[in-house]
Amino acid sequence: MRFYTTTGDDGTTGLLGEGRVTKYHARIEAVGTLDESTAALGLARAQCVDARSGKIILETQRDLYKIMAEVAATPENAERFRMIDASRVTWLEEQTDAISEIVEMPKEFILPGDSLAGAALSLARAIVRRAERRVVELHDEQEVSNPDLQRYLNRLSSLCFVLELLENKAAGHQTTLAKE
């Protein structure tokens, strides 16, 4: 078995359905940014100190793969790949609320870097925000129709933030404020 196909050598890539698009197409940009998000979350998960963080992150990574499939699907196939709905958004809200009860919310902006996992979660949050912008663009252009994708990514960035605070706390570090 080869680990390469050569089919993309012409600068195009296949969708889940009929057709190919350029590798810089907005749909592929969104899928790539979602892929970056799950990779950044994996980096964070590998460094987590608090056991709750790793379990939550793993589940979000699995959800991101479901989102990638729906975004990569052609409009006529999207429904077949739809796995993210309001219940998954609610799950994220529940996780965020539970973690929010055990961390102190800063009154100002914070700087990443107080713990390895916290810094990785901050990076993941920023990438998730970019993925959200890409998916919103596709939704506005009517390339994707599931509004729960946008909602999920919006809540995921909030979850990343509270997990960053949790990981800083678990590592025994104070969170550094942006303002001196």
Pairing of strands 12-14, 20-22: antiparallel
pLDDT category of residue 140 using cuts at 50, 70 and 90: very high
Closest C-alpha to 118, from 62, 172, 49, 164:
164
Least confident of 10-14, 51-55, 92-96, 131-135: 10-14
CATH of 16-100+112-170, one of 1.20.1200.10, 3.30.565.10, 3.40.50.920, 3.40.30.10: 1.20.1200.10
Paired tokens of 134? 């890409």
pTM of the predicted model over 0.85: yes
Check pLDDT > 90 for residue 43: yes
Average the pLDDT over 93-104 and give the result. Answer: 97
Average the pLDDT over 133-151 and give the result. Answer: 96
pLDDT of residue 118: 97
The number of residues making up the chain comes to: 180
Domain boundaries, the chain: 16-100+112-170
